[in-house]
Amino acid sequence: MNALRYLILSDVHANLEALEAVLAAAPRADFDRVLVLGDLVGYGASPNEVMAQVASLRPDVLIRGNHDKVASGLEDTEDFNYLAAEAARWTQTALTPPHRRELAALPAGPRVVDGLVEVCHGTPYDEDAYIFDELDALRAIEATQQPICFFGHTHVQVAFSLRGGRLDIVWPGRNGTTPVALERSARYLINPGSVGQPRDGDPRAAFATFDSETREVVLRRVAYRVDLAQQRITAAGLPAALAERLGVGR
Ligand code: ZN
């Protein structure tokens, strides 16, 4: 396989300011493949703008998340907490009909990208399940088809690796660039973090890159105009808590 550079984005959640900052730091032209792991909308105030921007990237793989299903009317808000449900109802009315149809037509994960990489929203065995701890990670790695699986859904940047029955975890450092060297004998489960609503206490937008030649994943963070995203949320009449959490990365 030729050397390929991948850009991996997840959980943009209708946050246009965060997405634009990520694409300024990691321009489309620098990458051979763009993988988008779902939850384009929900929580943030720019669902149509984010959908248009993501479409303009011509992603090689784009799968749906749980918020995409609810905002497009495929599922109801039964499994959602109050804030998520309020945001989903607002998003349903804000979406243009074409965007709503586009969202409803997104494929479910997991998807095999190539002989090295696959992606899912939550886990490879259930698109809505969460990978929080080592047990979750072990169960998920067992369900993968390729050595490297990128996942989202938790909004927490992390890399799990399994080699010889031993599970290791890499958490991102504070400087915004955390390289993870991939070994050929190990299997990986990597969350690029959330572009639009990080929940690991670092409010900066999160994403990841992968170079198949150097076998290096980089967990990255980029600062963005949180204040502008917050103003948009407030102006849209969405719950104030959705604006506040962006400021603290929760
Ligand atoms: Zn999400």
pLDDT digit string, tens, across residues 57-97: 999 999 999 999 999 999 998 889 999 999 999 999 999 99
Ligand 1 centroid – CA 164 distance (Å): 32
Ligand 1 centroid – CA 179 distance (Å): 24
How large is the average pLDDT for residues 15-23? 98
How large is the average pLDDT for residues 179-185? 97
How large is the average pLDDT for residues 140-168? 97
Q: Give ion ligand 1 contacts, CB < 5 A.
A: 11, 39
How large is the average pLDDT for residues 232-244? 97
**Dist CA 101 CA 151 (whole Å):** 24
How large is the average pLDDT for residues 22-49? 98
Q: CB-hemisphere CA count at 13 Å for 120?
A: 23
Give the single-character DSSP code of 57: T
Q: Which of 247, 227, 233 is nearest to 87 (CA)?
A: 233
Give the H or E element holding residue 163.
strand 158-163
How large is the average pLDDT for residues 104-128? 98
- Give the model's confidence band at 125: pLDDT under 50 very low, under 70 low, under 90 confident, else very high: very high
Ligand 1 centroid – CA 154 distance (Å): 7
93-100: long-range pairs with CB below 8 Å, 24+: 94/45, 94/47, 94/48, 94/236, 95/41, 95/47, 95/48, 95/51, 95/71, 96/48, 99/47, 99/48, 99/51, 99/52, 100/71, 100/72, 100/73
Q: Which of 115, 84, 141 is nearest to 2 (CA)?
A: 115
**Predicted pLDDT at 1:** 59
Q: What is the pTM of this model?
A: 0.97
**Predicted pLDDT at 84:** 94
Ligand 1 centroid – CA 12 distance (Å): 8
Ligand 1 centroid – CA 196 distance (Å): 9
